Amino acid sequence: MRFVLVIAAAASLAGCASITRGSTNQITVTTEPAGASVRTSMNHSCPTSPCTFTVGRKDEFIVTASKPGYRDATMPVKTRIAGSGAAGFAGNVLVGGVIGMGVDAATGATLEHYPNPIVLALQPEAAASAPGPRRKKAPASRPGSKPVAQAETTPAS
């Protein structure tokens, strides 16, 4: 019975980064200009920016913003070990041991997303370009015709 209690106590104290940071992260997305619709490759979406999504700390994804009259803008969001996450992970040596390290690694509690916040600058779509000056096409060579000889220039002596 004592063994079960010891294991339960160790498990409850394990995973310092999991306890202090959690397994999810808030991602804020803003666009320039504001009011674009935002979606992620993980099927999160919001109708107008700015907006905030809650994602798992281990998740890497792509954010896309769309607005009529503008080109879509995209940004990949990656993960990296956070300074405070590493400290929590190291705290496992004192409290959680191997179990805590495993919990932190499994939940991604030591990770953070970057960039965060995300700022997407949408570029206006190019206006339909007016027809420019027409170029004369070079005459096409006809089958059986002789090529036109080019004049050679020689330097004057």
In tens digits, the chain (157 residues) has pLDDT values of: 665 444 444 444 444 666 667 789 999 999 999 999 999 999 999 999 999 999 999 999 999 999 999 999 999 999 998 875 444 545 555 555 666 666 667 777 778 999 999 999 999 998 655 555 555 555 555 566 555 444 444 455 4
Is residue 117 a part of any domain in this protein?
A: yes
**Number of structural domains, the chain?**
1
Neighbours of 33 (CB within 10 A): 12
pLDDT at 86: 47
Is residue 132 a part of any domain in this protein?
A: no
pLDDT at 140: 58
Whether 119 and 31 have beta carbons less than 8 Å apart is answered as: yes
pLDDT at 107: 77
Among residues 134, 126, 114, 100, the alpha carbon closest in space to that of 19 is found at 100
Among residues 66, 56, 61, the alpha carbon closest in space to that of 41 is found at 61
pLDDT at 23: 84
pLDDT at 119: 97
Whether 146 and 57 have beta carbons less than 8 Å apart is answered as: no
Give every strand in the sheet of 37-40, ordered side by side.
Answer: 45-46, 37-40, 61-66, 73-81, 111-114
Is residue 66 a part of any domain in this protein?
A: yes
Is residue 31 a part of any domain in this protein?
A: yes
Omega of the bond prior to 33 within 30 degrees of 0, cis?
Answer: yes
Is residue 152 a part of any domain in this protein?
A: no
Q: Which domain holds residue 114?
A: 15-121
pLDDT at 81: 85
Is residue 51 a part of any domain in this protein?
A: yes
Is residue 72 a part of any domain in this protein?
A: yes
Is residue 1 a part of any domain in this protein?
A: no
